[in-house]
Amino acid sequence: MAAKVIDGKAFAAKLREQVAGHVARLKADHGIVPGLAVVLVGEDPASQVYVRSKGKQTVEAGMASFEHKLEDSVSEAELLAVVEKLNADPEVHGILVQLPLPGHINSDLVINAIDPAKDVDGFHISNVGLLGTGQKSMVPCTPLGCLMMLREAHGSLSGMNAVVVGRSNIVGKPMAQLLLGDSCTVTIAHSRTKDLAEVCRGADILVAAVGRPQMIPGDWVKPGATVIDVGINRIDAPERGEGKTRLVGDVDYASCAEVAGAITPVPGGVGPMTIACLLSNTLVATCRANGIAEPEGLTA
Ligand SMILES: NC(=O)C1=CN([C@@H]2O[C@H](COP(=O)(O)OP(=O)(O)OC[C@H]3O[C@@H](n4cnc5c(N)ncnc54)[C@H](OP(=O)(O)O)[C@@H]3O)[C@@H](O)[C@H]2O)C=CC1
Ligand SMILES: Nc1nc(=O)c2c([nH]1)NC[C@@H]1CN(c3ccc(C(=O)N[C@@H](CCC(=O)O)C(=O)O)cc3)C=[N+]21
């Protein structure tokens, strides 16, 4: 049986449209324009692509987009000064510092310098703590996008066995928190997990956030399970011509799609939802900063 393909691109377009509607109302009723600032350090071409498409979609949603490109050699103090300036800027409601940062910069220090109310990535320790204790917080965009797709596919997730492969602070851990919040029985697997194949086979919901191209084969997937592929890996694609590349996820799509009940593709799955959730978080941050009731259904 072939899996149902979860269309993240279409879901994200719907979510962005919803956000744009709320943004228009904020402008009309309160004269407020949500603003998102993105800080990019260095010249990594893949990162520049994300920053560009984020900027474009921000403007399309009716928000203000601010971009700060800094040299690879920027000092930690200079970067912290940029963050401080954005914290104090009333036109900026959301701040995203693109990760990873160059090795000479302490990422934790920079992330924790962001005003938690403007931390639309949800990476600040106080947002992490709020999420972990089930309190209102800013929720990391990638896991939030995954949760939205899972809820759409299943309605209630209560009692399902969820396996998250990967334990990073930006994807794996917050994903596990959100699934636990929806009453899944959650297992977090990582590079030291024993018999990963068998652990994965127990999953009704399998989330792959590993960073290894096509690592998870179809015979690790329980028949009928829902597979969420967070991985974004660029691999050589000589079949498309010399020097060509293509994007693949952390699961082997062809074999997993034969066994799974539903699966997200790469591209067109989790990635577009991440950006849509970033816009949604910026809207939510703007509402909270101005004491305006936030729209329902946009947070976890
Ligand atoms: N779609 C989107 O919007 C986004 C996509 N991504 C993509 O998601 C993927 C994961 O990103 P991120 O969480 O930042 O990555 P990290 O490199 O920070 O974390 C990877 C995790 O995978 C685990 N891992 C590595 N190798 C294995 C293995 N052989 N078996 C089991 N576990 C393993 C690591 O374990 P250990 O801790 O033991 O080292 C680690 O916990 C990447 O492909 C990234 O590009 C990331 C962010 C957003
Ligand atoms: N502070 C911070 N927050 C992040 O959320 C963050 C980050 N740093 N660093 C990098 C990762 C990666 N990430 C992606 C977002 C969207 C797509 C996306 O939209 N991908 C498209 C394809 C894009 C293409 O074709 O290149 C898709 O999957 O369909 C991918 C990757 C956010 N990240």
* Residues 220, 89: Cα–Cα separation, whole Å: 49
pLDDT, one tens digit per residue, over 145-196 is 999 999 999 999 999 999 999 999 999 999 999 999 999 999 999 999 999 9
Q: Does the beta carbon of 36 sit less than 6 angstroms from any atom of ligand 2?
A: no
Choosing from 149, 232, 277 the residue with most ligand 1 atoms within 8 A of its CB, the one to mutate for a pocket test is 232
- Does 48 qualify as catalytic in the annotation? no
Residues of the chain with pLDDT > 70: what percent? 100
* Residues 76, 68: Cα–Cα separation, whole Å: 15
Binding region for NADP(+) = 166-168, 232
Beta bridge partners of 69: 40
- Binding-site residues, ligand 1, Cβ < 6 A: 142, 165-168, 170-172, 189-193, 196, 209-212, 230-233, 250, 270-271, 274
pLDDT, one tens digit per residue, over 246-265 is 999 999 999 999 999 999 99
- On the question of pLDDT at 42 being above 90, the answer is yes
- On the question of pLDDT at 66 being above 70, the answer is yes
Residue 288, number of CB atoms within 10 A of its CB: 15
Distance in Å, CA 60 to ligand 2 centroid? 18
Distance in Å, CA 211 to ligand 1 centroid? 4
What is the average pLDDT value for the chain, to the nearest integer?
Answer: 97
Q: Which CATH number fits domain 141-272: 3.30.499.10, 2.70.98.60, 3.40.50.720, 3.30.1120.10?
A: 3.40.50.720
Query: What pLDDT, on a 0 to 100 scale, did the predictor assign at position 43?
Result: 85
Beta bridge partners of 235: 246
CA of 37, nearest ligand number: 2
Q: Per the structure block, which two tokens stand in for 17?
A: 């449209």
Select from 246, 245, 266 the least CA-distant residue to 257.
266
* Residues 178, 143: Cα–Cα separation, whole Å: 7
Distance in Å, CA 205 to ligand 1 centroid? 17
Atom 38, ligand 1: residue with shortest CA distance:
191
On the 0-12 / 13-18 / 19+ scale of CB atoms within 10 A, 200 is: buried
Q: For the complex shown, is ipTM > 0.90?
A: yes
- Does 194 qualify as catalytic in the annotation? no
Query: What pLDDT, on a 0 to 100 scale, did the predictor assign at position 1?
Result: 65
Q: Does the beta carbon of 74 sit less than 6 angstroms from any atom of ligand 2?
A: no
Distance in Å, CA 98 to ligand 2 centroid? 10
Confidence of residue 53 (pLDDT cuts 50, 70, 90): confident
* Non-local CB neighbours of 296 within 8 Å, separated by 6+ positions: none
Confidence of residue 35 (pLDDT cuts 50, 70, 90): very high
Asked if omega into 267 is within 30° of 0 (cis), the reply is yes
- On the question of pLDDT at 4 being above 70, the answer is yes
- Does 18 qualify as catalytic in the annotation? no
Tell me the average pLDDT across 128-135: 97
Active-site pick, 18, 57, 119, 121: 121
Q: Domain spanning 30-124 has what CATH number?
A: 3.40.50.10860
Select from 5, 281, 282, 296 the least CA-distant residue to 143.
281
Query: What pLDDT, on a 0 to 100 scale, did the predictor assign at position 44?
Result: 81
Query: What pLDDT, on a 0 to 100 scale, did the predictor assign at position 12?
Result: 98
- On the question of pLDDT at 49 being above 90, the answer is no
CA of 124, nearest ligand number: 2
The domains spanning 30-124 and 141-272 adopt the same CATH topology? yes
Q: Where are the domains of the chain?
A: 30-124, 141-272
